[in-house]
Amino acid sequence: MTQTSWYDDPVALWASARVTELLAGHDDPPQYGSAEWQQLPGNDPKKGAAVITAAEMWRRYSDEDELVAWLNDAHRVRTPIASRKTIAELDALAKPKPARPVQAAPGWPPIAIPGRPGWYRHLVNGRQVDVQRTEQAA
């Protein structure tokens, strides 16, 4: 079961809306099955809200391994904000880098030369040689 945000989960949205509707004008519900919950009358809205809340918690967190993984992730040490890159640093990293010169490499086919249609760069005897498609490298 994958964890999703409540706003991405239609079941969680429905449950939240029902609990809000049931608790309109009431305090938070007692924990489902507690002595306080058992003392409520059967038609008390807080009793229904507690049942929906417990069911939703079971649905979302019944997988114990996943719950432990979620708790571990929630408590993991994160990089302090002060040590993160600033907007200026990120902007500098995002600037285009200068183009690298086109170079043919040993064992690779010729490379088309940008801006010169029909011309290719070959590596011949360790030298970079530009030839048109109709010519053959020496």
CA nearest neighbour of 137 among 125, 126, 127, 122: 122
**DSSP track, 33-55:** TSHHHHHS-TT-HHHHHHHHHHH
Residue 1: what pLDDT? 45
- Rounded to whole angstroms, the Cα distance separating 44 from 23 reads 10
Residue 7: what pLDDT? 65
Structural domain boundaries in the chain: 6-82, 99-138
- Rounded to whole angstroms, the Cα distance separating 114 from 135 reads 18
Please compute Rg for the chain using Cα positions.
33
**DSSP track, 20-31:** HHHTTTS-PPPP
Tens-binned pLDDT, residue by residue, of the chain (138 aa): 455 565 678 888 999 899 999 999 888 899 999 999 999 999 999 999 999 988 888 888 777 777 788 788 888 888 888 888 999 999 999 999 998 888 999 999 999 999 899 999 999 999 999 999 875 655
- Residue indicated by tokens 């009358």: 41
Residue 138: what pLDDT? 55
Residue 25: what pLDDT? 81
Residue 117: what pLDDT? 92
Residue 28: what pLDDT? 87
